[in-house]
């Protein structure tokens, strides 16, 4: 074997040894920052009266955002509030008897009937004496007896009328009045809700990313007026080649770097797509063009102000943190 051949063999073996001794370089994937936006609207349509925010503005939770015209809702609410007062008054009336003046009339009629009954009884006694003495006929005594019975019946009638006048309405009427009051209360509750829905506040703190309408414009019910992105709704989306898919799993930690991120940011894989796709055009490069990949999503482990939707990122597995988490779970 010549000296040249020996040198070539030695050099080849040396390169093989060097490549075998070098640690495996972790894979690197490309992706971008994405966000789950909140599209804020009113469940009832109308004309926009006030708009208190603009695109790019940071807002706190429960901050006022916009208000639609609610004149019709307020008028309906006032009408239903008046109807509730009527229903409540009618319900209260069923628990009471007649008014005192009405009772006084019946009491006066009863007193008169009692006096008539006493007079008829006295007259009957006189007629009985006269019949015994032979001064009147039996028919005259029968008339006096009939008059006593009539006056006594009148007294009983007025006593019963007075007792009934003091009673409340029948139970069925009271139940109907109570149900009518409850219906009026629920109608007023709905009117209050409709009026309140014309004004909307921020459900969470975040950034107003888009404003789709302006004051004076009319929007339909449920039509988004603006969009809001909360810091906790920022997510990372990257693409892993099919050949490397077996090296990742949900719950695994990854490390994110980007031009504006500064120090690397750690994130946790939350989703691995079940279907393969070709590398999206937004991250095409000469090395990745038309490569079959799986989309993977991850959530940053902490809120970062440097992660803006659309920002390009590089992703690498964070084996050290993943191993630490696994050990903590086992212990």
Q: Give the separation between CA 44 and CA 51, rounded to whole angstroms.
A: 16
pLDDT digits (tens, 9 = 90+) for 124-183: 788 788 778 777 777 877 777 888 788 888 878 877 777 776 766 678 888 888 889 999
Does position 287 have pLDDT exceeding 60, yes or no? no
Please answer whether residues 255 and 316 qualify as being in contact, where contact means their C-beta atoms are separated by less than 8 angstroms.
yes
Sorted by where each begins, the domain ranges of the chain are 26-36+231-330, 38-69+199-229, 97-167
Q: Three-state SS for 68?
A: strand
Question: In Å, how far from its chain's centre is CA 331?
Answer: 42
Does position 212 have pLDDT exceeding 90, yes or no? yes
Q: Give the separation between CA 182 and CA 185, rounded to whole angstroms.
A: 5
Contacts of 221 (CB under 8 A, 6+ apart): 41, 42, 43, 44, 45
pLDDT band (50, 70, 90) for residue 1: very low
Cα→Cα distances 10→2, 18, 291, Å: 13, 12, 38
Q: Give the separation between CA 175 and CA 210, rounded to whole angstroms.
A: 53
Q: Give the separation between CA 66 and CA 214, rounded to whole angstroms.
A: 10
Same fold for the pair 38-69+199-229 and 97-167: no
The number of helix segments (H) and strand segments (E) in the chain equals: 6, 14
Cα→Cα distances 328→298, 318, 322, Å: 21, 16, 10
**Which strand (E) or helix (H) includes residue 161?**
helix 138-165
pLDDT band (50, 70, 90) for residue 5: very low
Architecture of domain 97-167: Orthogonal Bundle (1.10)
Starting at the edge strand that comes first in sequence, how are the strands of the sheet with 218-219 ordered? 199-201, 64-68, 46-51, 218-219
Task: Pick the more confident residue, 291 or 195.
Answer: 195
pLDDT digits (tens, 9 = 90+) for 233-257: 999 999 998 888 888 999 999 999 9
Question: In Å, how far from its chain's centre is CA 148?
Answer: 74
Question: In Å, how far from its chain's centre is CA 66?
Answer: 18
- The pLDDT value recorded for residue 100 is 75
- The pLDDT value recorded for residue 254 is 94
Per-state percent for the chain, helix, strand, coil, to nearest 5 = 45, 25, 30
pLDDT band (50, 70, 90) for residue 324: low
Task: Pick the more confident residue, 10 or 241.
Answer: 241
| In the block, residue with structure tokens 């999206």 | 280
Contacts of 171 (CB under 8 A, 6+ apart): none
**Which strand (E) or helix (H) includes residue 206?**
strand 206-211
- The pLDDT value recorded for residue 175 is 85
What DSSP assignment string belongs to 82-103? HHHHHHHHHHHHTTS---HHHH
- The pLDDT value recorded for residue 18 is 40
Task: Pick the more confident residue, 89 or 133.
Answer: 89
User: How many residues in total does the chain contain?
Assistant: 331
Please answer whether residues 45 and 218 qualify as being in contact, where contact means their C-beta atoms are separated by less than 8 angstroms.
yes
- The pLDDT value recorded for residue 9 is 43
For the residues 318-327, what does the mean pLDDT come to?
67
Domain range 38-69+199-229, CATH class = mainly beta
- The pLDDT value recorded for residue 261 is 80
**Which strand (E) or helix (H) includes residue 266?**
strand 265-278
- The pLDDT value recorded for residue 117 is 79
For the residues 87-107, what does the mean pLDDT come to?
78
Pick from 316, 313, 295, 296: which is nearest to 304 by CA?
Answer: 313
List the structure tokens of 216: 């004076």
Domain 26-36+231-330 has CATH 2.40.30.170: yes
Task: Pick the more confident residue, 186 or 17.
Answer: 186
- The pLDDT value recorded for residue 267 is 94
Q: Name the burial class of residue 311, with classes exposed (0-12), middle (13-18) and buried (19+) by CB atoms within 10 angstroms of its CB.
A: middle
pLDDT digits (tens, 9 = 90+) for 45-57: 999 999 999 999 9
pLDDT digits (tens, 9 = 90+) for 53-75: 999 999 999 999 999 999 999 99
- The pLDDT value recorded for residue 319 is 76
- The pLDDT value recorded for residue 70 is 93
Task: Pick the more confident residue, 27 or 134.
Answer: 27
pLDDT band (50, 70, 90) for residue 331: low
């Amino acid at each position: 074997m010549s000296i040249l051949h020996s040198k070539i063999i030695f050099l080849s073996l040396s390169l093989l040894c060097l490549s075998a001794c070098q640690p495996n370089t972790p894979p690197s994937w490309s992706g971008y920052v994405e966000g789950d936006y909140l599209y804020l609207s009113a469940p009832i349509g109308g004309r926009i009266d006030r708009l208190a925010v603009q695109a790019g503005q940071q807002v706190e939770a429960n901050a006022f955002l916009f208000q639609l015209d609610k004149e019709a809702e307020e008028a309906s609410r006032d009408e239903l509030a008046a109807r509730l007062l009527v229903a409540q008054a009618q319900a209260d009336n069923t628990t009471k008897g007649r008014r005192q003046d009405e009772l006084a009339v019946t009491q006066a009629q009863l007193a008169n009937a009692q006096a008539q009954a006493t007079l008829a009884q006295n007259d009957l006694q006189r007629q009985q004496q006269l019949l015994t003495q032979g001064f009147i006929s039996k028919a005259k005594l029968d008339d006096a007896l009939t008059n006593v019975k009539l006056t006594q019946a009148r007294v009983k009638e007025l006593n019963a009328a007075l007792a009934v006048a003091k009673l409340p309405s029948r139970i069925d009427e009271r139940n109907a009045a109570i149900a009518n009051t409850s219906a009026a209360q629920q109608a007023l509750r709905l009117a209050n809700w409709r009026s309140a829905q014309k004004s909307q506040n921020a459900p969470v703190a975040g950034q107003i990313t888009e404003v789709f309408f302006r004051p004076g414009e009319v929007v339909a019910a449920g039509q988004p007026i603006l969009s809001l992105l909360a810091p906790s709704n920022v997510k990372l989306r990257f693409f892993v080649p099919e050949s490397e898919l077996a090296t990742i799993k949900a719950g695994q930690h990854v490390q994110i770097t980007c031009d504006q991120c500064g120090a690397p940011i750690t994130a946790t894989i939350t989703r691995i797509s079940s279907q393969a796709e070709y590398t999206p055009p937004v991250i095409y490069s000469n090395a990745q063009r038309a490569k079959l990949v799986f989309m993977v999503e991850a959530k940053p482990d902490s809120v970062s102000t440097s992660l803006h939707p659309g920002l390009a990122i590089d992703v690498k597995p964070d084996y050290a943190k993943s191993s630490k988490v696994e050990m903590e779970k086992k212990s």
